[in-house]
């Protein structure tokens, strides 16, 4: 399916009825890419949604991209956007010092915890926390930034003010992950295996009910179309100042998580700036397994690429393979839509299969 404008995004609000807009017919490269997206979704063992925007044209192609999927740590992208917007407006300074202690710790992936455990505190600044939240997906770094800029309301206000439809930010990691598991947060869960032990002690029926409720109506739900549109707006410089835009994209290029998700399909000469998200498992299924990013060709053409999996029991290599093939489909589209002049050497590298 195809989307051209924000009004097509899930959750878009209009003050008055809009005249019907008939999208232009798909070009052969667009039709081929749309077919590939549909085949990837149909052939995947799980509930997946994909979206790709050719940022130069603005056209978004997708397969099940108008549904809401749990974002998990993809939501750190919105925290970063809101924080940098606050910095652009003079209400926040990345150089501002901050101290993290045991009461700031969260759960799951938080490398900062080891620093706090060994030193009793961690003295740094918010610029460092932003880097850690994005490149290492550190939950404690993310939640400390979130608290500093005003909480979930600040982030959702930024999303709404920017007219980024189909995006729910949700809440902080402690609140969200506890609710998915069927718990009320206790700060003791932040140390050792406290959270895991408390979760494992819950009745399976309760855990199943909370797990299914989250998947049915994710508090952090977002549509692939909505995310692709937002990534395109970021790349165009429409969301942040030029300085903040460059900082965010440069940071996302250094992402360490998910090297074999979308990034695994990026051929030589291409680059990717991306953010991953991974949810809790229950009963052999995972709630959210995602990667979103901007893929750039050697010629500088940019594509917003979004892979969201609501739930799946497929082996991890199969999930990564689907995401890698999505990027390869984008590369094939680029080569078909923008062929080099006769006699010119192609600038894209050969697409190879990652192990």
Give Dmax (Cα) for the chain: 67
Reference 291, options 310, 274, 304; nearest CA is 274
- What's the pLDDT score for residue 22? 58
- What's the pLDDT score for residue 8? 32
- What's the pLDDT score for residue 71? 99
- What's the pLDDT score for residue 343? 76
- What's the pLDDT score for residue 341? 84
The per-residue pLDDT for range 87-142, each reduced to its tens digit, is: 999 999 999 999 999 999 999 999 999 999 999 999 999 999 999 999 999 999 99
- What's the pLDDT score for residue 215? 98
The per-residue pLDDT for range 267-294, each reduced to its tens digit, is: 999 999 999 999 999 999 999 999 999 9
- Would the pLDDT of 256 be above 50? yes
- Would the pLDDT of 20 be above 60? no
Q: Which CATH superfamily is domain 2-12+25-337 in?
A: DD-peptidase/beta-lactamase superfamily (3.40.710.10)
Break the chain into its structural domains and give their ranges: 2-12+25-337
Could you identify the residue written with the tokens 């209400």? 91
Query: Which of the four pLDDT bands, split at 50, 70 and 90, describes residue 340?
Result: confident
Query: Which of the four pLDDT bands, split at 50, 70 and 90, describes residue 11?
Result: very low
- What's the pLDDT score for residue 347? 54
Question: What is the C-alpha to C-alpha distance for residues 263 and 258, in angstroms, rounded to an integer?
Answer: 7
What average pLDDT does the chain have?
A: 93
- What's the pLDDT score for residue 235? 99
Query: What percent of the chain is modeled with pLDDT above 70?
Result: 90
- What's the pLDDT score for residue 314? 98
Q: Do residues 52 and 307 make contact, with C-beta atoms less than 8 angstroms apart? A: no
Query: Which of the four pLDDT bands, split at 50, 70 and 90, describes residue 248?
Result: very high
- Across the range 237-248, mean pLDDT stands at 99
- What's the pLDDT score for residue 342? 85
Question: What is the C-alpha to C-alpha distance for residues 149 and 92, in angstroms, rounded to an integer?
Answer: 7
* SS3 annotation, the chain: CEECCHHHCCCCCCCCCCCCCCCCCCCHHHHHHHHHHHHHHHCCCEEEEEEEEECCCCCEEEECCCCCEECHHHHHHHHHHHHHHHHHCCCCCCCCEEEECHHHCCCCCCCHHHHHHHHCCEEEEHHHHHHHHHHCCCHHHHHHHHHHHCCHHHHHHHHHHCCCCCECCCCCHHHHHHHHHCCCCCHHHHCCCHHHHHHHCCCHHHHHHHHHHHHHCCCCEECHHHHHHHHHHHHHCCCCCHHHHHHHHHHHCCCCCCCCCHHHHCCCCCEEEEEEEECCEECCEEEEEEEEEEEECCCCCEEEEEEEEEEECCCHHHHHHHHHHHHHHHHHHHHHHCCCCCCCCCCCCCCCCCC
- Would the pLDDT of 32 be above 50? yes
Query: Which of the four pLDDT bands, split at 50, 70 and 90, describes residue 345?
Result: low
The per-residue pLDDT for range 288-325, each reduced to its tens digit, is: 999 999 999 999 999 999 999 999 999 999 999 999 99
Query: Which of the four pLDDT bands, split at 50, 70 and 90, describes residue 3?
Result: low
The per-residue pLDDT for range 176-230, each reduced to its tens digit, is: 999 999 999 999 999 999 999 999 999 999 999 999 999 999 999 999 999 999 9
């Amino acid at each position: 399916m195809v989307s051209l404008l924000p009004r097509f995004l899930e959750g878009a609000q209009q003050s008055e009825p809009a005249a019907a807009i008939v999208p232009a017919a798909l070009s052969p490269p667009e039709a081929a890419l749309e077919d590939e997206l549909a085949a990837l979704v149909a052939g995947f063992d799980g509930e997946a949604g994909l979206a790709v925007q050719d940022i130069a044209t603005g056209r978004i192609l997708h397969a099940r991209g108008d549904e809401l999927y749990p974002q998990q740590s993809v939501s750190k992208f919105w925290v970063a956007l809101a924080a940098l917007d606050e910095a652009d407006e003079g209400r926040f300074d990345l150089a501002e010092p901050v101290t993290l202690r045991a009461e700031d710790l969260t759960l799951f992936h938080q490398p900062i915890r080891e620093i706090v455990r060994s030193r009793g505190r961690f003295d740094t600044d918010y610029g460092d926390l932003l880097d850690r939240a994005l490149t290492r997906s550190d939950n404690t770094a993310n939640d400390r930034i979130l608290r500093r800029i005003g909480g979930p309301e600040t982030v959702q206000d930024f999303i709404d003010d920017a007219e980024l439809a189909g995006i729910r930010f949700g809440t902080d990691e402690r609140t969200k992950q506890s609710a998915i598991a069927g718990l009320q947060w206790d700060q003791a869960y932040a140390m050792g295996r406290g959270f895991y032990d408390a979760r494992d002690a819950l009745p399976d029926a309760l855990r199943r009910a909370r797990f299914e409720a989250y998947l049915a109506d994710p508090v952090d739900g977002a549509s692939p179309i909505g995310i692709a549109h937002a990534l395109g707006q970021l790349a165009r410089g429409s969301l942040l100042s030029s300085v903040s835009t460059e900082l965010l994209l440069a940071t996302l290029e250094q992402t360490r998580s998910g090297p074999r998700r979308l990034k695994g399909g990026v051929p030589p000469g291409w680059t990717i700036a991306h953010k991953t998200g991974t949810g809790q498992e229950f009963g052999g299924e995972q709630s959210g397994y995602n990667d979103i990013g901007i893929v750039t060709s050697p010629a500088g053409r940019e594509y917003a690429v979004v892979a969201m999996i609501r739930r799946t029991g497929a082996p991890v290599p199969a999930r990564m393979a689907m995401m890698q093939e999505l990027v390869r489909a984008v590369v094939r589209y680029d080569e078909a839509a923008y062929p080099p002049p006769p006699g010119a050497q192609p600038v894209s590298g050969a697409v190879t299969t990652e192990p």
